Amino acid sequence: MVEQILLITGAAIFGVLGVLHFYYTFFTDKFTPRDRKVTQAMKSTSPLLTKRTSVWDAWIGFNGSHSLGAIFIAAFYILLAATHMEVIRETAAFILLAILIGLSYLALAIRYWFRIPVIGILIATLCFIVSAILIFT
């Protein structure tokens, strides 16, 4: 039971972070550069990959898809743990994948992001790890 609560808690943290990120991306200016010249430059240039988009549109799209990824991870693990915890207990890959996802996001957060996502992802990943320990012992 504790392992189920920990898994759902870790996933819920990912969900909250994903929803906040989605909201900040599409409904606020929180990801807008402080220097307006940078914003204008992003809007007026394209990446080398293609001229069919601007760096600004790619930036918004990457942030949006990043948000949706975290939301999807949360929805998947919350639903799976809440309704079919026995599947997670019987198939180690599910809990190991949660840990791998958490560690991957944590590495990105430490390298590229700021304190709040690092703390949230660290707590979520620790929830996944402790859940796994309880499942395997």
Q: What is the pLDDT of residue 117?
A: 95
Banded model confidence at residue 107, pLDDT cuts 50, 70, 90: very high
Which among 137, 97, 134, 111 has a CA at the least distance from the CA of 14?
97
CA distance 12 to 31: 23
Closest among 58, 135, 71, 57 to 105, alpha carbons compared: 71
Model's pTM, two decimal places?
0.92
Residue 103 pLDDT grade (very low, low, confident, very high; cuts 50, 70, 90): very high
Cβ-contact 103, 125 below 8 angstroms: yes
The whole-chain average pLDDT of the chain stands at: 96
Q: How far is CA 99 from CA 11, 34, 35, 92, in A?
A: 11, 35, 37, 11
> Residue 8: its pLDDT value, please?
98
Q: Is 34 left (phi over 0), alpha (psi -120 to 50) or beta?
A: alpha
Give residue-wise pLDDT tens across range 2-56: 999 999 999 999 999 999 999 999 999 999 999 999 999 999 999 999 999 999 9
Give the per-residue pLDDT at 22.
98
